[in-house]
Structure 1
Amino acid sequence: MATNIRVGAVQAEPVWLDLEGSVNKTISLIESAAADGVQVLGFPEVWIPGYPWSMWTSSVIENTHIIHEYMANSMPRDSDEMKRIQAAVKRAGMFVVLGYSERDGGSLYMGQSFISPDGEIAHHRRKIKPTHVERTIWGEGQAESLKCVVPSPFGKIGGLNCWEHLQPLLRYYEYSQGVQIHVASWPAEFEMPDPKKIAWLYHETGEASYRASQFMAMEGQCFVLIASQILTEKNLEKNNLVGNPVTKTPGGGFSMIFGPDGKPLCEPLGDGDEGILKANVNLRDIDYPKTFIDPVGHCKETPKSRNCLVGFIRRVFERNSNARPDLLSLLVNPTRDTHVTTMAK
């Protein structure tokens, strides 16, 4: 496995409510990144067909027409549109974490597909708990979505959506899976609005989301690629966002690439600018911060390892680890609940 990797994070405006246009733009970004040598590329949350911000600023009734179009332009995982994207990834020879609104029958999910350099979906997950009003549009992920790290020729690649980064047990479980490069997929998030116009919470801003992603890099000692959407004035009306005090345009972007100690590794784009942020990283750079802090830094000893060299190394490393499974541990249920269960005769 290579240790010197070129990574990229997308900051761009979706082709709103347009599946075909979204796929075309996705392929164009993949091709552009590949031309610049990118090997791991992250896309924003529900990049296809864009994050419908008006669900936060208008009533359900006022957004009915948008949601109807949104369903029609969400993408099934096994679709011709997805196959086009997979083919583009294969041509590029890169690893892509793609965020999209996934249509499955009459339901939508906030999906992330991990597409390998051979164009196969190596893993697929769904946001396990959509945030607040998001639950009126998207369903919840099940047990298979707890897995959020997959091996690749470019290291162990992880990914979470938006406020999944504020779920400490989910982050902890990702660290336990050995993540090295993490894709933090976000929608557009804007600066703090005028308090005279609306009461708003700081945690619902681009600055706060940036900090949450940076903290994950420090806490998990992994490279973090923030991929975020932007919004421009010409698309306010299409998104039913004209006149609200929150979605300032052009804006919404806060993409960045962090090292495993939390250090920014590239120059940011303006919050209303499109582009692909890029950085050359060395996976061996993870080792140094791991020696300072590692929340899941050792494996439980087995009787066979207790008297061997491996057991000795583990016991030495435990002294530098912040993990205390004798006091605190995480219980994970790997069983997927289904709507229909066939009884055995």
Structure 2
Amino acid sequence: MSKKVRVGAVQAEPVWLNLEGSVDKTISLIKQSAADGVQVLGFPEVWIPGYPWGIWTTSVIENVPMIHEYMNNSLAKDSPQMRRIQDAVKEAGMFVVLGYSERDGASLYMAQSFISPEGEIVHHRRKIKPTHVERTLWGDGQADSLKTVVDSPFGKIGGLNCWEHLQPLLRYYEYSQGVQIHVASWPAEFEMPDKEKQPWLYHETGEASYRASQFMAIEGQTFVLVSSQIMTEENLEKNNCLGNHVTKTPGGGFSMIFGPDGSPLCEPVGVGVEAILTADVDLRDIDYAKTFIDTVGHYARPDMLSLLVNPEAAKHVTLMKQSSF
């Protein structure tokens, strides 16, 4: 029996440093996707309030004013703004994986909330290790973020942020959770600059991120929704991105939908184009790929190679119990 699902991947420009504007645009994209029959929708990494590329291109001192605004416009998981998004998801009757900068007290985390068609946050996770200079802004996710897959009416939905796709043990653990549709949430990533003008690394390009997402589809035998941000020229200054040869605008996007054998399932859009990429998929098609390779099944050798996982989240404060005498 077939299990057909219409999936969607968002490629769009955030409403930079603007929480209310970000929520409005998120709801608009959810409604637009629902009108197109999308049942599972993925958003980019820290879509709200956008990925602050200035942390890579400008010094900490110069970024202080921007980061102050960034903190003020990050999204709390339990907030009126989040409830507006949840209501929109419920009205649409779809499943959404929402990437956002989560504010929890005075700390920020690179979060993904998994929102069910009933509008409930059925799972919430944080990037377990922010990458390089990201660590100056966002904290680490704990062990509860190792769970990356949840059940839904549309199959088992998974999600990872950005370079979590380069962590082989984390990917392997997701495969063991039975992922069928994976949301790969990414920031804007740009083409390789002229090395004589700007030394840079290939793995920090949209092409490399595209390939990493495609490899996860192949390795995990799962559908992958690649969602990425774009940036336009008028927003370079707001993001402290003027005067470098990396953040070329309009650009940053590399979104795609891959099948469980790694094949592209829709037409690509331009690197600076806003779009919701869609594809109609049949979860039964995963069996084609699994017949050849099941990474945590018949193609594994757990007698020789296995993964050790600590599922218990660490606590900042543990209260000692009083002994009764």
Q: Deviations over 1:271-322 (max 9, x none)?
A: 000010000000000001101011101xxxxxxxxxxxxxxxxxxxxxxx21
Write the distance in 1 (CA, Å) between the matches of 2:53 and 2:239: 7
The gaps in structure 1 that reach 5 residues or longer are 298-320
Equivalent position of 1:307 in the other structure:
none
Instruction: Name the aligned partner's letter for residue 87 of structure 2.
Output: A
Whether contact under 8 Å (2:2, 2:284) holds in the other structure is no
SS of alignment partner, residue 151 of structure 2 = strand
Instruction: Name the aligned partner's letter for residue 222 of structure 2.
Output: C
Equivalent position of 1:324 in the other structure:
301
Equivalent position of 1:4 in the other structure:
4
> What does 1:1-345 correspond to in 2, within 5 Å?
3-297=3-297, 321-345=298-322
Whether contact under 8 Å (1:9, 1:42) holds in the other structure is yes
Write the distance in 2 (CA, Å) between the matches of 1:2 and 1:150: 20
SS of alignment partner, residue 273 of structure 1 = coil
The structure with the largest alpha-carbon Rg is: 1
Whether contact under 8 Å (2:253, 2:272) holds in the other structure is yes
Whether contact under 8 Å (1:44, 1:185) holds in the other structure is yes
State the 4+ residue runs in structure 1 displaced beyond 3 angstroms.
Answer: none
Displacement of 1:2: 7.2
Whether contact under 8 Å (2:198, 2:244) holds in the other structure is no
How many aligned positions are there?
Answer: 322
Q: Deviations over 1:72-130 (max 9, x none)?
A: 00000000000000000000000000000000000000000000000000100000000
Percent of paired sites with the same residue? 80
Write the distance in 2 (CA, Å) between the matches of 1:175 and 1:3: 19
Equivalent position of 1:304 in the other structure:
none
SS of alignment partner, residue 41 of structure 1 = strand
Instruction: Name the aligned partner's letter for residue 344 of structure 1.
Output: K
Displacement of 1:243: 1.5
Displacement of 1:197: 1.3
SS of alignment partner, residue 28 of structure 2 = helix
Displacement of 1:171: 0.1
Displacement of 1:167: 0.2
Instruction: Name the aligned partner's letter for residue 28 of structure 2.
Output: S
* TM-score, scaled relative to structure 1: 0.93
Instruction: Name the aligned partner's letter for residue 261 of structure 1.
Output: D
SS of alignment partner, residue 226 of structure 1 = strand
SS of alignment partner, residue 301 of structure 2 = coil
Displacement of 1:27: 0.1
SS of alignment partner, residue 267 of structure 1 = coil
SS of alignment partner, residue 338 of structure 1 = coil
Whether contact under 8 Å (1:2, 1:155) holds in the other structure is no
Write the distance in 2 (CA, Å) between the matches of 1:31 and 1:336: 35
Write the distance in 1 (CA, Å) between the matches of 2:49 and 2:260: 31
Write the distance in 1 (CA, Å) between the matches of 2:54 and 2:228: 17
Write the distance in 1 (CA, Å) between the matches of 2:79 and 2:309: 32
Which range moved further: 239-248 or 79-88?
239-248
* TM-score, scaled relative to structure 2: 0.98
Which range moved further: 19-28 or 242-251?
242-251
The gaps in structure 2 that reach 5 residues or longer are none
